[in-house]
Amino acid sequence: MKARPNVVLLVVAGLVLVLAVIAALVSASRGELDLDPATPDGTVQLYIKALYEGDEDAALALLDPELGCEEPFQQLYLSESARVGVLETEMDGDTATVVIEVEEESGAGLFESWSHRETFELIAAGDGWLITGEPWPVYYCGNEKVLVD
């Protein structure tokens, strides 16, 4: 009779393992959703994608020149990988706000991930949008503006 609890435990462990493999396969097979680059949320997606691909020129081109950012990515930290989802997009004339949820992974283990929300402010520019304000993960451009009286 003592063998029966061990068999049940083995079966449950096997089912958990099978479910974990299925979840990993489903997660890996989902493609990324490409948003319209002429929309505020599409602009944010392009910006984040450019950062993760190391294309600083493409990311910088999506920032409002009025920010005065010349080299904003010098002290940039990005986790090894991230999943980003748009939670909300609000447009008001020539301005927009995009709220995203970022789930980052450190690569240090199965449970080494965290999530946070970030808000992007955008302005209309021609046929597209530019990110203004303090866009994650930069927050600070490194340029000090001197006000003259």
Higher pLDDT, 36 or 90: 90
pLDDT for 39: 93
Residue 79's alpha-carbon distances to 22, 82, 106, 112, 148, in angstroms, are: 25, 7, 6, 11, 39
Whether residue 65 contacts residue 123, with contact meaning beta carbons closer than 8 Å, is answered with no
Q: Specify the CATH number for the domain of residue 60.
A: 3.10.450.50
Whether residue 69 is found in the same domain as residue 104: yes
Rounded distance, CA 120 to CA 131, Å? Answer: 7
pLDDT of residue 145 exceeding 70: no
Give the structural domain span for 97.
32-149
Whether residue 53 is found in the same domain as residue 26: no
pLDDT in tens, 21-34: 555 444 444 445 67
Closest CA to 49 of 36, 39, 40, 58: 58
Whether residue 98 is found in the same domain as residue 38: yes
pLDDT band for 146, please (50, 70, 90 cuts).
very low
pLDDT for 111: 65
Q: What is the mean pLDDT of the chain?
A: 77
Whether residue 108 is found in the same domain as residue 135: yes
Whether residue 113 is found in the same domain as residue 134: yes
Backbone conformation region of residue 16, classed left if phi is above 0, alpha if psi is from -120 to 50, else beta = alpha
Backbone conformation region of residue 139, classed left if phi is above 0, alpha if psi is from -120 to 50, else beta = left
Whether residue 101 is found in the same domain as residue 134: yes
Higher pLDDT, 15 or 96: 96
Higher pLDDT, 75 or 61: 61
Rounded distance, CA 51 to CA 63, Å? Answer: 12
Closest CA to 48 of 71, 81, 75: 81
Cut 0.85: pTM above it: no
pLDDT of residue 77 exceeding 70: yes
Whether residue 8 is found in the same domain as residue 66: no
pLDDT for 139: 67
pLDDT for 26: 45
pLDDT for 81: 78
pLDDT for 2: 57
Domain count for the chain, please give it: 2
